[in-house]
Amino acid sequence: MGKNNYLKLLVMAAIIAVVPLIVSGDYHLSILVFMGINCMVVVGLSLLMGYAGQISLGHAAFFGIGAYSTGILTTQFGLSIYAAFLCGILFSSLVAVIIGIPALRLQGHYLAIATLGIGEIIYIIFNEMVGLTGGPSGLSNIPAFHVGGYPFSHSIQYYYLVWGALLVILWFSLNLIHSRVGRALKAMHGSEVAAGAMGINLSAYKIQIFVLSAIYASIAGSIYAHFVSFIAPNNFAFMNSIMFLMMGVVGGLHNIWGAVMGASLMTFLPEYLRVFKEFDILIYGAILLAILLFMPEGFLEGIPMLYRKYFKRGEA
């Protein structure tokens, strides 16, 4: 992990620490909590897509597995929150391995389609296993997160939890990218054949990254469940998977920081558009299209590029 990234992480930590001094109120902090949760999922997707070159069309399912694992285990089996968190992680890794091994051995984008199918199946399971999941009516009264018997009663605590966890995830991911695994993935992105010839075990690396991204999504899902205290299958359907993808693409998939930016912007935008009442779906779509059309490489690369294009024509 380069010096540059350490600096960025430090800057980010500083921002995280300072933001609550400026932003107050449950509502605004809640937006930030949702933002952090989305960031976690999208960072995993960015690793998978930007670095391992694979697409998942079913990440909302892993998000859901995390949420339902903690939700079910804490409300119905009286498990402690930490144990439930771990179970969620184990469970989603297991599912990821089961889909990943056959799908990633194949050439091309079978993972995309396999994740789509599995995602939908998991969604149906959430809907149909009424005894455990509460079915479409959802699962309510999920206890608040707590540390040593002190329950989190205010969004500020969740804010620090989520963004703290995100920092750890980012630190881990950046290290990974700059490690042997990351270099292997980069080689693979360039040419799978060449990388294979160099003796890189492609499918093993791909599966590792896929599982890791599923774990990130699961952690995010668990936090989501405790924060909202209510979950229903709707939040984990196909369109939600697409929304996560969209966040990544809007920010720029080839860079983890792009994922953070994209997820933040896309969580924040709908809230900002509340003032437009029902026009928001139209304006939201239009803004999204504008970003995609003018910044096809994402927000993070796009803005400096547009800036150079229009203001510094001579230098560029």
Q: Which of residues 119-158 bind other proteins (CB under 8 A)?
A: 120-121, 124-125, 127-128, 130, 135-138, 140-141, 153, 155
Comparing CB distances to other proteins, the nearer of 180 and 193 is 193
Q: Which of 63, 236, 246, 255 is nearest to 170 (CA)?
A: 255
Q: 20-59 mask for other proteins (x: CB under 8 A)?
A: --xxxxxxx-xxx-x--------------x-----x----
Tokens of 225: 């469940």
Q: CB of residue 47 vs other proteins: minimum separation in angstroms?
A: 14
Q: Is 194 in the site for other proteins (CB under 8 A)?
A: no
Contact with other proteins (CB under 8 A) among 6, 102, 150, 204: 102
Residue 200 near residue 187, CB atoms below 8 Å: yes
Of residues 32 and 73, the one with the C-beta less far from other proteins: 32
CB of 8 to other proteins, least distance (A): 7
Q: If you search the block for the tokens 């930590």, which residue do you land on?
A: 13
* Burial call 221-231: b when 16+ CB within 10 Å, e when fewer: bbbbbbbbeeb
Of 10, 94, 106, 194, the one binding other proteins by CB under 8 A: 106
Q: Toward other proteins, which CB reaches closer, 164 or 304?
A: 304
Cite the beta strand spans of 62-205 per DSSP E: 146-147, 150-151
Helix (H, G, I), strand (E, B) or coil at 115: helix
11 binds other proteins (CB under 8 A): yes
Residues between 223 and 282 with contacts to other proteins, criterion CB under 8 A: 224, 228-232, 234-235, 238-239, 242, 245-246, 249-250, 253, 257, 261, 264-265, 268, 270-272, 274, 277-282
- Give yes or no for residue 6 binding other proteins (CB under 8 A): no
> Are the beta carbons of 184 and 195 closer than 8 angstroms?
yes
The nearer residue to other proteins, 154 or 180, going by C-beta atoms, is: 154
Q: Return d(Cα 145, Cα 158) in angstroms, integer.
A: 8
171 binding other proteins? (CB under 8 A): no
The two tokens of residue 123 are: 């969604």
Within 13 Å of residue 236, how many CA atoms lie on the same side as its CB? 34
Rounded distance, CA 136 to CA 126, Å? 8
